[in-house]
Structure 1
Amino acid sequence: MTGSEETLSFRLAYVPGVTPTKWVRIWNERLPGIPLELVATPPAEAYDVLRDGGADAGFVRLPADRTFFSAIPLYTETTVVVVPKDHLFTAADEVSTEDLADEIVLHPLDDTLGWERPPGQPAFERPATTADAIELVAAGIGLLVVPQSLARLYHRKDLKYRTLTDAPQSQVALAWPEERTTDRVEDFIGIVRGRTLNSTRGRTQDQPRSQDQPRSQSKSKNAGKSGARQKPAAGKPTGKGAKGPRGGSGAAKGARRGKPRRRP
């Protein structure tokens, strides 16, 4: 159900790799009186944060439990393999999972790609986080397969990444508890969907009435300015050379002037 309660702020969770800057800027422009609070959330905890009320909505990675959450898929990320900068793979623009067959591929516990076992040879143990796995790649322990946004987030000068053509892909979505679809959540959905301020579902209740003037009112104010020719009043001559009823170009052609002569 949709709530209409007033809130002092809007809390937005986001997982690593997602950059909410653009949407936050639009929110601050449209609703300057309602602060937006960002809540950085580990991938494995994102849905728990939303479920427990730690955030009103969040940028998460699918899949989501659709029996509890509503979700709007936003984009699908490119999958890449992170390697040391002097690795053989850096000579190519892209590689396949088959190319990883003889490589040790790290599988962190917070993996975002959802596969049970990555390609290649497994490491002795699974790193706790993606950040830990990046350190191991830099140390030459193995390679790491992640969404491109995470490779950029943990960028290091001693590492490179290349596109992995046939690997699973991560899909980013905006999600929120369906039963807590408040007016503020609807406002943020409108921003994410790219609705304008004046669109029916994108307009907030805090918008001044003067910015939402009915079209019929504006028409009445502009009446008579449209350039339509007005019908002249009865009895008034029209035209370039129009004059009064006596003489001039307003007189009928052939009309006699003066008094008529009597016949003998």
Structure 2
Amino acid sequence: MPSDVAPFRIAIVAGVSVGRWTKAWKERRPETPLEVIPIPESEQRSVLTEGIADVSFVRLPIDRDDLSVIRLYSEVPVVVVPKEHPIALFDSVTEADLAGEILRTEDPADAVEVVAAGVGVLRVPHSVARQYARKDVEAIPVSDAPETEIAIAWPTESTSPDVEYFVGIVRGRKASSSRGEAPTAPPPPTNQTTAKRPPQRGAKKPQGGGPAAAGRKRGARGSR
């Protein structure tokens, strides 16, 4: 039977997985249904100010006026390239290696399609590249690019018991904790990119030049 209780609405930008937190909510607050709303990054503030979502997982920076914002974790930046692109041979590349490449700026889902067809490359957080992963592209870490950050945000004036409860879950509050207790810092989601960069293998320059000559060659792919 449908519930007469209004759902608690959670907006998420691409790359964010909220399964562990929504599962905890359903176990602890089964009387209040959840609605998860995927949104483009361009709408991460408007979904809150227009009342479309109660909370939103956003990618910083965001205009914080009238919002409460709690930073959660960092993401490693990557470049998505076609599988046969010279950059795909490397464990990591630098900003300089990308000079002269055509950077795609479309929605990631569309941009990956274009990149796979051999037109340009895409710069995105690792979690976004993972969400749109396919067999004909590779995601290579950009070692000297700044990391991006994921946060949870909500309108300060709309802070409700439900908002406080969900934020507490995200920040690590146990089911036995009272609502007023200070939650512990959240452990990084197991299926998200954390602040640690992936280990890099020893540097090997490819024979000759190429757009990624300053990068780190992927040993596992060097035999192609």
Aligned to 2:55, which of 54, 57, 68?
57
1:42 has 2:20 as partner: no
Alignment of structure 1 residues 1-264 onto 2, 5 Å: 8-106=6-104, 108=105, 127=106, 129-201=107-179
Residue of structure 2 equivalent to 1:219: none
Which SS does the other structure have where 1:53 is aligned? coil
Q: Are the aligned partners of 1:187 and 1:202 in contact in 2 as well (CA < 8 Å)?
A: no
Question: Offset of 1:198 from its aligned partner?
Answer: 2.4
Aligned length, in residue pairs: 177
After superposition, give the CA deviation of every residue in 1:65-117 in whole Å (9 maximum; x if it has no partner). Answer: 222110110111010010111111222110001111132222x1xxxxxxxxx
Question: 1:49–1:176: structure 2 CA closer, same or farther, 3 Å change rule?
Answer: same
Which SS does the other structure have where 1:80 is aligned? strand
Question: 1:202–1:94: structure 2 CA closer, same or farther, 3 Å change rule?
Answer: farther
Question: Offset of 1:50 from its aligned partner?
Answer: 0.8
After superposition, give the CA deviation of every residue in 1:110-159 in whole Å (9 maximum; x if it has no partner). Answer: xxxxxxxxxxxxxxxxx3x2222112111111111110111111111110
Hey, what's the Cα distance between the residues in 1 that align with 2:178 and 2:30?
20
Which SS does the other structure have where 1:29 is aligned? helix
Q: Are the aligned partners of 1:191 and 1:202 in contact in 2 as well (CA < 8 Å)?
A: no
Hey, what's the Cα distance between the residues in 2 that align with 1:131 and 1:196?
36
Question: Offset of 1:42 from its aligned partner?
Answer: 1.3
Hey, what's the Cα distance between the residues in 2 that align with 1:190 and 1:97?
38
Q: Which has the larger radius of gyration?
A: 1
Taking structure 1 as the reference length, the TM-score comes to 0.64
Higher relative contact order (CA 8 A, sep 6+): 2
Structure 2 unaligned runs (5+)?
182-224
Which SS does the other structure have where 1:179 is aligned? helix
Hey, what's the Cα distance between the residues in 1 that align with 2:124 and 2:137?
13
Hey, what's the Cα distance between the residues in 1 that align with 2:60 and 2:129?
19
Give me the CA root mean square deviation. 1.4
Hey, what's the Cα distance between the residues in 2 that align with 1:160 and 1:88?
11
Taking structure 2 as the reference length, the TM-score comes to 0.75
